[in-house]
Amino acid sequence: MNRLLVFFLLSFLFKVNLGYSQFTEIINSNRPGNSSGAFAVGKNILQFENGFYYTDEKHQLLNYDVKGYGSDFRIRYGFLYDKLEMIISGVYQNDNLADNRYTPVNDIDRKNFKKFKIGAKYLIYDPKKGISEKPNVYSYFADKKFKWKNLIPAVSVYAGFNIDSKNNPFIRSDVNGLSPSFAIYTQSNFTYRSVITTNLIMERIGSNQNDFEYIISLTHAFNENFIGFIETHGIKSDFYADNKLGFGIAYLLNDNLQLDFGTIFNFKETPTIFQMSLGVSYRLNLYRE
């Protein structure tokens, strides 16, 4: 979920002029969901997004249980242009796999990065660039009503590479080293309170674990501090396939600090997955006019 969504959703409260810059008065965070918005953090903005989660998995066919914890993070820095940002991101997990096919149970302790990436995102299309919409001072409802043109999304592209170590228990045993990653992110602010974000992602391109992922998020602002979201996340590869559903809320403590809570689960038994997470996003605002 992208915190820039909150800026668009609540800009009528903050009375901020968007102009041509992607710098925003409040933090632009992707947490607590897995999706990324189309917009960058803004030039000379350094931002940290970190979450801690508990995970519980059960596999009915292979008869194993997994319990553990992990951390996911993003470091984002806007440079050169307002539309461009560098991103370092990853997911690290420490868990115990209990293989119940054996007596006594075979316990396996595992820890490694499930994902570690370095890349860059660039905004290639902003439907509102150069357009100045004046509020309808005669009718509040006319000013806030649904407009079909708001379905036209902003679009950005991401390119980077995955870094996988040898003997990683969370990926195929024959996958290691560098592999390309590519994504397309779209963002539609279709009402003054609600936003849809769509991600199409290719991971580990050309390797023996070539993953395709899609993420669709719906975000809604309840007020100037609280927002909620619902998200569907699909994964397809020869190594692993799944469809997950996530819910969450975020709370804006101040313009540069956000707290969040989220949960994720799926609908199959190979394996069943349940996760709960707590996270924080913090922005170092180096922006200057």
Tokens matching residue 12: 């009528």
Tokens matching residue 264: 């994720």
Contacts of 258 (CB under 8 A, 6+ apart): 3, 27, 29, 31, 250, 251, 252, 280, 281, 282
Dihedral sign (CA 252, 73, 58, 207): positive
Domain that holds residue 256: 4-285
Tokens matching residue 244: 């997950």
pLDDT at 288: 64
Say how far apart CA 270 and CA 280 lie, in whole Å: 31
Contact indicator for 64, 82 with CB cutoff of 8 Å: no
Question: What is the per-residue pLDDT across 224-270, written as a single tens digit (0 to 9) for each?
Answer: 899 999 999 999 988 889 999 999 999 999 999 999 999 999 999 99
Contact indicator for 38, 84 with CB cutoff of 8 Å: no
Is 5 a residue whose pLDDT tops 60?
no
pLDDT at 249: 96
pLDDT at 17: 35
- In the chain, where do the E strands start and end? 45-59, 64-78, 84-99, 106-125, 154-164, 177-188, 194-203, 211-221, 226-236, 241-254, 257-266, 272-285
Find out whether the peptide bond into 135 is cis, omega within 30 degrees of 0: no
Task: Convert 80-117 to b/e letters by CB count within 10 Å (16 or more is b).
Answer: eebbbbbbebbbbbebebbeeeeeeeeeeeeebbebbb
Question: What is the per-residue pLDDT across 200-216, written as a single tens digit (0 to 9) for each?
Answer: 999 999 999 999 999 99
Q: Residue 10 phi/psi, 5° resolution?
A: -115, 15
Say how far apart CA 177 and CA 160 lie, in whole Å: 13
pLDDT at 78: 94
- State percent of the chain over pLDDT 90: 72
Say how far apart CA 36 and CA 38 lie, in whole Å: 7
Is 103 a residue whose pLDDT tops 60?
yes
Say how far apart CA 188 and CA 196 lie, in whole Å: 5
Is 285 a residue whose pLDDT tops 60?
yes
Tokens matching residue 154: 């902003």
Number of domains in the chain: 1
Lowest-confidence pick of 23-27, 124-128, 182-186 = 23-27
Higher pLDDT, 4 or 127: 127
Across the strands, what pairs with 63?
none
Question: What is the per-residue pLDDT across 106-154, written as a single tens digit (0 to 9) for each?
Answer: 999 999 999 999 999 999 999 988 666 666 545 555 555 667 777 899 9
pLDDT at 25: 79
The distance in angstroms from the start CA to the end CA of the chain is: 27
Cα separations in angstroms, 123 against 83, 129, 132, 147, 186: 5, 11, 19, 23, 10
Query: What number of other Cβ atoms are within 10 A of residue 181's Cβ?
Result: 21
Tokens matching residue 136: 């309808």
Would you place residue 20 in the very low, low, confident or very high pLDDT band (cuts 50, 70, 90)? very low
Give the type of residue at 36.
S
Dihedral sign (CA 152, 216, 225, 52): negative
pLDDT at 143: 56
- CATH code: domain of residue 238: 2.40.160.40
User: Which residue in the block uniquely carries the two structure tokens 């605002």?
Assistant: 285
Question: What is the per-residue pLDDT across 43-68, written as a single tens digit (0 to 9) for each?
Answer: 999 999 999 999 999 999 999 999 99
